[in-house]
Chains A and B, each alone.
Chain A
Amino acid sequence: MQKIRILMAKPGLDGHDRGVKIVSRALRDAGFEVIYTGLHQTPEEVVNIALQEDVDAIGMSVLSGAHNYLFTRVLELLKEKGAEDIILFGGGIIPDEDIAFLKSKGVSELFTPGTPLETVVDWAKKTIKPKV
């Protein structure tokens, strides 16, 4: 069976990468194929890499407070490129009301500080399927 591919991304100027790296390792250890963008990516760069690498999902980590802009911008770009079947999820310092807003826009799931790795892995196993 083909491995499910996930792009883990750090969009924006924020360099706090402890979270994204830990989640990347956990997903890799759970059997996913994980690609990490590295730091300081623009939304355009994230979406381009996602298309080039033909991933099934994008996980973005934002701790700088710029989440509303960055997540909605990536959704917009995915739509423009006709790649809405790529699941977008993420994590970071994101207040509840922003989580509700971003989910209403189409972000699949958002994880906040204190989430056990198992929760993220279980969610990914249940939600992310290979694209048809």
Chain B
Amino acid sequence: MIGRIKDSFERWEKECVEKHLKKNPERESKFTTVSNQEIKRLYTPVDLDGFDYLNDLGFPGEYPYTRGVQSTMYRGKIWTMRQFAGFGTAEDTNKRYKYLLSHGTTGLSVAFHMPTLMGVDSDSPRARGEVGKCGVAIDSLADMEILFDGIPLDKVTTSMTINGPASILLCMYMAVAEKQGVSWDKIGGTIQNDILKEYIAQKSWLFPPEPSLRIITDIFAFCSKHVPRWNTISISGYHIREAGSSALQELAFTLKDGLTYVEAGIKAGLDVDEFAPRLSFFFNAHNDFFEEIAKYRAARRIWAREMRETFKAKDPRSWMLRFHTQTAGCTLTAQQPLNNIVRVAIQALAAVMGGTQSLHTNSMDETLALPTELAVTVALRTQQIIAEESGVVNTIDPLGGSYFVEKLTNEMEKGAYDYFKKIDDLGGMVKAIEHGYPQREIMDHAYWFQQAVDKGEKTIVGVNKYVMQEEIPIPLLKIDDEVEKKQIARTKEVRNTRDKKAWEHSLRELKKAAASKDNLIPYIYQAVKSYATIGEIVDTLKEVFGEYKEPAMF
């Protein structure tokens, strides 16, 4: 059968294509994806020689989950529309959350300002100029109580983009739940908690890798017993891609990070099925439509295989790769910003066709400032139009079986394993990071892409093609400098009014625990409850764990 198709294909190329090409050459000598992968003119069953439907794809909700992790996918439940938001003080962001919830968003996602991400308090000199600027300012439990005021934590799920200080923010969330009378087994959400990709790409780290991994496995152990619905980690390719990686690098480095966390959990004495079901992923949705879809499908298949075959997980929930997607911020342009609405729609569609569990669509104005309410609404409506007007949700994995998409999926899988091997040869992911290997791979790709754009080999509409002189001004959100003063005042008040004895005691105990092998989470919880600030908790831990410094290279 394949032989006959192959013969026919060669005949077609000779008789039909070559003749046509003589008079009508193609537009490019080589067609490539945005990641510089070559794409052929046509894909046929010849490209899928050896393809085995049951082994390679199977059925949705069943191993190896290539077609999706749920048996009915969006016919049962639409993905969670989860818009990342946070700015100014906790009061400002609380208002935005209530606005989003009243307009149909179905989950919250907290953006913290830089000082919180870096474990620095708003009243530290290192926080000058940063307070409330690119996220909400959270210094202590007092801020967190305001952030979720009037939002029932047993009714919404919350994702928190927080890594180094993830354990602290999780404890604050648990404390707010307790105050609302919601027991920990009723709260659901995600902390990003993915420190490896911080060293690789986003660069918001606190401690060196080893103690960082210990905190992460402490969270795995604690949550599996006490906060069972919490996704303890969101292993993230998003930032790797934003730092300039290719689609394949995003896939490979993210999954390798994930496998490293699994190894760490097992090494810490946990049973793989105790924590693996709560691992979740976070991918980017970039411009190259089919490449992105292949990336998601390959990710599910690789993860399932590795979890079942390599780590011998028995619980099917351990095999399932569930993921959140965000459209690619780095593809948005400051020029002709309304065009960004269209880019986001295409990217979001790829995420949906790739079977995402939740989705954030970027706002058109994000290369200029934090999004306005209007821009956020259009972004949310984009998801609603895909879900309720386009019809793509009516069947599962609509591109499954496409010769092109299946071939791309196979190539993604093979490419990822090639990277796994290179990383293993360097001694594993932590060693590879210390060598700067993934960082350099990403940087090389980012530089290639920028040069391709500058040479006009890759088009960015409105930037290197179809450039306009007159641009439509759009309204921008501005963060008032008053925010910094207000926040500093509140944190000072917290320091002055808390129970000094309980506060001192909790930090002393925390330091002792850090030096021991005890699970740290109960100690962090006590510190949070005594209104210790994030900066105080992080500094206490740094006394034991030290700090991480990366080699400055470019």
Contacts and interface: CB of A to CB of B under 8 A. Distances in A.
Contacts of B450: 22, 26, 117
A6 B258 CA distance: 39
A64 B554 contact: no
B114 A118 contact: no
A36 to B, nearest CB: 5
Nearest to A44: B125
B402 interface: no
A12 interface: yes
A14 to B, nearest CB: 6
B179 interface: no
Contacts of B182: none
A22 B450 CA distance: 8
A20 B198 CA distance: 17
A39 interface: yes
Interface in B87-124: 114-115, 117-118, 120
A12 B114 CA distance: 9
Interface in B255-307: none
Interface stretch (B36-44, B74-82, B127-135, B424-432): B127-135
A13 B115 contact: yes
A34 B127 CA distance: 27
A20 B126 CA distance: 20
Contact of B454 (A40, A95, A118): A118
A21 B130 contact: no
A17 B553 CA distance: 11
Which residue, A13, A15, A16, A20, has most C-beta atoms of chain B within 10 A? A13
Contacts of B130: 12-14, 64-66, 69
Interface in A46-67: 63-67
Nearest to A62: B129
Contacts of A93: 367-369
Interface centre among B115, B128, B463, B554 (most CB of A within 10 A): B554
B476 interface: yes
A40 B335 contact: no
Given A13-B118, A66-B114, A68-B129, A116 B552 contact: no
Contacts, number: 111
A16 B329 CA distance: 12
A42 B454 contact: no
B494 interface: no
A19 to B, nearest CB: 9
B333 A95 contact: no
A59 B243 CA distance: 19
Nearest to B549: A38
B114 A36 contact: no
Contacts of B447: 21-22, 25
Contact of B133 (A66, A114, A116): A66
A8 B115 contact: no
Contacts of B550: 38-39
A83 interface: no
A26 B117 CA distance: 30
Contact of A95 (B202, B368, B552, B553): B368
A13 B133 contact: no
Contacts of B551: 38
A16 B133 contact: no
B32 interface: no
B335 A38 contact: no
Interface string B129-166: 11001100000000000000000000000000000000
Interface string A55-89: 00000000111111110010000000000000000
A106 B134 CA distance: 25
B406 interface: no
A9 B163 CA distance: 24
B435 interface: no
Contacts of B460: 114
B386 interface: no
A113 B133 contact: no
Contact of A18 (B125, B127, B243, B335): B243
Nearest to A70: B129
B129 A69 contact: yes
Nearest to B450: A22
B72 interface: no
A12 B333 contact: no
Contacts of A73: 128-129
B341 interface: no
A118 B422 CA distance: 34
Contacts of B552: 36-39
Given A12-B130, A65-B130, A118-B454, A21 B446 contact: yes
B287 to A, nearest CB: 15
B46 interface: no
B129 A8 contact: no
Given A13-B117, A25-B554, A18 B244 contact: yes
A12 B447 CA distance: 24
A21 B554 contact: yes
Contacts of B202: 15-16
A33 B494 CA distance: 48
B338 to A, nearest CB: 15
B334 A114 contact: yes
13 contacts: A12-B129, A16-B242, A17-B243, A18-B242, A18-B243, A25-B554, A28-B554, A36-B554, A69-B128, A69-B130, A93-B369, A95-B368, A116-B453
